[in-house]
Structures are given as structure tokens and as C-alpha cells.
Amino acid sequence: MAVVALFVAVVSCNSKPEALKGFEQVETGAYMKFYERSHSTVSPRIGDGVTFAMAQYFDDSLLFTTADSEPIDIRLEPAPFVGDITDALLVMHIGDSARIAIMADSVFASMGGMEVPEEYAGKYIQYDVKLLSIKPKEEIEAELKHIADSLKTEGNRFLEQMRNTPGCEVLESGLMVMGKPGKGKVAQKGDYVDFDFLMLSKEGDTLLSSFDVESVLMQYGEDFVCDGFVQALGMTPQGCMARFVVPSELGFDSVGYQDILFPYEPFVLQLRMNEVMDLAGYNKKNEARERKVQEENERRMALEDARIKAYLKSQNIDAEATETGLYLVREAEGTGSVAQWGDAVAVHYTMGNLNGEQVESSYEMGEPMRFTIGRGEMLPCIEEAVMTMSPGARVLLVSPSDLGFGEFSVHETLLPAYSPLVIELELVSIE
């Protein structure tokens, strides 16, 4: 009996799941089957840049493809788990094409520990990949060094100009104070501050500003933007405006800031210190601010129905609201079956507010938005509308906020909390 049990265990360990039939596990751990092998002998390495075409499938349904867009261009980093696409690319040559099978649980876990949807659990996502080109890491690093050297040179040239500006004082830290900040109470450790700021590029373009939104309320000494910013706050007296130049070492150094500031780029900072206060003063001001937000939210909620009806009248829209309060105007009928609860669909949309200002568009992103109806992945107004549409249909939606973003503020001015939505929606496909 023991021999039989051992034999069964060995056979079980060596057997493949049905989904992996026809796949071979290569030395890097990836499960692959090749469609085409090129005559090239060059494979990428970690650190190399690779360009590849890709299509992603689940249960024979196409989830994503580069066929109608640019191929993927990335720099290879160590795979987040064994058998990732990186592990497959490392054994491919230029011109090779292959199918890769990856456990869906690993894919979702690598996306910040994202919970695996029930229909994906224990199953495999498959990828068709064709390796188009390889850029050696040495070439990439040489290019990056050249760019970094150029950015440093430009930054240093600007700093030298500022040093030679009358009234400029360069502190030991490297922070530049442009003129006298004035006299008054300055923040000390443990204080709270209320201030406005304007960040400018070295060319004078506005990067970030609180002046046209809302002042910043925080405890002095907390991490805020960067070290140079915090230093400058501690030098700006209450009731005064002050101007500084922040070198990259006190700013964002080799990283840069989002898409608005290059690596090694200094920036100009203008501050207005509205008030330096203690904890009691901070709490009082913060409570007043929260009351103001609540009052504004309540005002928008009270006016929402009237605003929607005024919009419908101004646009000559004669439509009855659904039971949920959604207004839906059919602009083009589609063909085929109407989308149902549980269907995976692809939609294009353009979203805006009642003032006619656009907030977001999938057309500009170049890809339709894909989601499964009923899983809470999409706004309720879109889910409701899609279940009245067949592929090719287009509708106009005027949605109350409770079917949109509700109490969530998407944008301070374009879509604050409790904002109705205007959405042009097209059902591209039921997948």
C-alpha cells in the first residue's frame, strides 16, 4: 500500500493542470509554448529595454491587445513572482513569438495585493507575446547619464543667475532667499500653520498653486512636498510674502516631481504665511473649514434636482427619469443582444459636468474601459445604462450624484462632491 501511495503522489506532482497542456516550463520558471523561433541569438537581460507586441486572454476572451496601438516599451526589472512575463522575455530572442500562461492569483497579488476576482481564482491568464527589439542596458544608462548631465547643467546655470540677482541670500543648506521676507512671528517646532504657496518652474510656468483653491492647514515640521519647502516655511513670517529658489538637492533631486518637474531641476517657491497658531487655534480653524465644506455639500445637494432640470431644459432634452433618477437619451441603436448583469463589456465614454466642462474621456486614453457588470467596478449610472444597450449603441446620460461619485470630490472645481454628471456613452462590445 505504501508503494502504491508513493506512486500516486509522484504521478500527481508531475501532472500538469489541463490549462497548461502544451506548455513547457522554461529555466526561468515561465510556462511557454513558442509559435515562432527566429535566427537571432540575442536575449534580453535585466536592465535592458525591450519592445514587444502583446495580447492578453482569459477563457478565450481578449482582455487587451496592442494590435491597434503602439507596442509595449519597458525596461526589464526582476520579476515580481516566478513565471511572470519578464521571466518569459528573458528566454526569448528578437523575432520570437510565444504564448505564456500565468496564474491569475499571482498577477492580481503583484498588483498591490489586489483581491482575486472569484471567476479568476485558480485559473490562468494567457499572453501572446512577440519580442520586437532589445536595447542594451549600457546604451540606456549612457543615454540617461547624458540627459542627467544636461539637466544638471541647465539647473546650475539657472541657480548661478539667481545667485547674481540683487537681494539674493544663499543659506548654508543651499536654499536661496530672494529679498527680505519681512518681520513677524515665524513657525517653531510644534506650531501649526495656515499658508498659501505658488511653485514655479525656472521658466516661470506655474507648477502647483493653492492660491486659487484653498490654503494649506498643517503642523509645521511635517513632511510636505520636499525639505526645501519646509525650510522656507520656517522662514516666512506671519502676514508676510516670501520668495525662494529651491535647488534640486533640497527638492526632488534625481527623481523629479510627477510630470511637472524634471530630475535635477530647481524651482521657485512663493509663500504667504496667513497664520502661525497653537493646537487650539488649529482645531478651531479646521472645524470651521469642515463646517464650510459640509454647508457647501448640503447646498449642492439641495440644488441638485433643480440644476439637473435646468440643464435638461437648456439642452431641449425631453426625457423621463428612470426609477433611480437617471435621465437617458438614446442617440444610436446597436445590434445584437442587450448587455446583462454579469457580462464583461467594453465601453467608450466622455464625462463632464452640467457646465459643459469635460473631466475625462476614454477616447483620449486610446482604449475603451472594460468592466464586468454587477461587480461594482463602474459608476452605477453607467452600469444601469449599459444594461439597456447592445453593441454599437450610444446614449447620453444625465445622472444625479448618488449614481455617480456621491460625496467624493473628483476635482475641486470641475466635479466637487455631490455633482451631477453628463456622460456620452458607447457600448463597444460584450466580451
- Let me know: does 273 contact 240? Beta carbons within 8 Å: yes
Least confident of 86-95, 240-249, 262-271, 356-365: 356-365
Look at residue 73 in the predicted model and tell me its pLDDT.
Answer: 95
**Mean pLDDT within 22-50:** 94
Look at residue 30 in the predicted model and tell me its pLDDT.
Answer: 94
Q: Which CATH number fits domain 14-135: 3.40.50.2300, 3.40.309.10, 3.10.50.40, 3.30.1490.20?
A: 3.10.50.40
User: Residue 17 pLDDT more than 70?
Assistant: yes
**Mean pLDDT within 111-124:** 83
Considering the domain delimited by 162-277, tell me its CATH architecture: Roll (3.10)
**Mean pLDDT within 82-109:** 94
Q: Cell 480653524 maps to which residue? A: 285
Alpha helices in 164-235 (DSSP H): 227-233
Q: What is the mean pLDDT of the chain?
A: 90
Instruction: Give residue-wise pLDDT tens across range 193-221.
Output: 999 999 999 999 999 999 988 899 999 98
Least confident of 328-332, 349-353, 367-371: 367-371
**Mean pLDDT within 109-132:** 87
Look at residue 79 in the predicted model and tell me its pLDDT.
Answer: 92
User: Residue 5 pLDDT more than 70?
Assistant: no
- CB within 8 Å of 430: residues ≥ 6 apart: 336, 337, 339, 343, 344, 345, 390, 391
Report d(CA 329, CA 327) in Å as an integer.
7
Report d(CA 270, CA 75) in Å as an integer.
38
Q: In the numeric block, which cell numbers belong to residue 213?
A: 483653491
Q: In the numeric block, which cell numbers belong to residue 264?
A: 535635477
Report d(CA 39, CA 372) in Å as an integer.
42
CA angle 266–267–268, rounded 5-degree value: 140
pLDDT confidence of 9, banded at 50, 70, 90?
very low
Q: Is 301-430 assigned to CATH 3.40.50.280?
A: no
SS (H, E, C) 298-309: HHHHHHHHHHHH
- Let me know: does 287 contact 298? Beta carbons within 8 Å: no
User: Residue 320 pLDDT more than 80?
Assistant: yes
Q: In the numeric block, which cell numbers belong to residue 165?
A: 540677482
**Mean pLDDT within 187-198:** 94
Report d(CA 245, CA 268) in Å as an integer.
5
Distances (CA, A) of 392 to 378, 388, 389: 19, 12, 8
- CB within 8 Å of 44: residues ≥ 6 apart: 50, 76, 89, 90, 92, 131, 134
- Let me know: does 61 contact 343? Beta carbons within 8 Å: no
CA angle 190–191–192, rounded 5-degree value: 125
Segments of the chain assigned to CATH 3.10.50.40 = 14-135, 162-277, 301-430
Look at residue 6 in the predicted model and tell me its pLDDT.
Answer: 36
Alpha helices in 42-195 (DSSP H): 85-89, 104-110, 137-163
Counting residues of the chain whose pLDDT is more than 70, the rounded percentage is: 96
Report d(CA 72, CA 424) in Å as an integer.
29
pLDDT confidence of 3, banded at 50, 70, 90?
very low
Q: Cell 464650510 maps to which residue? A: 292
List phi, psi (to 5°) of 71: -65, 165
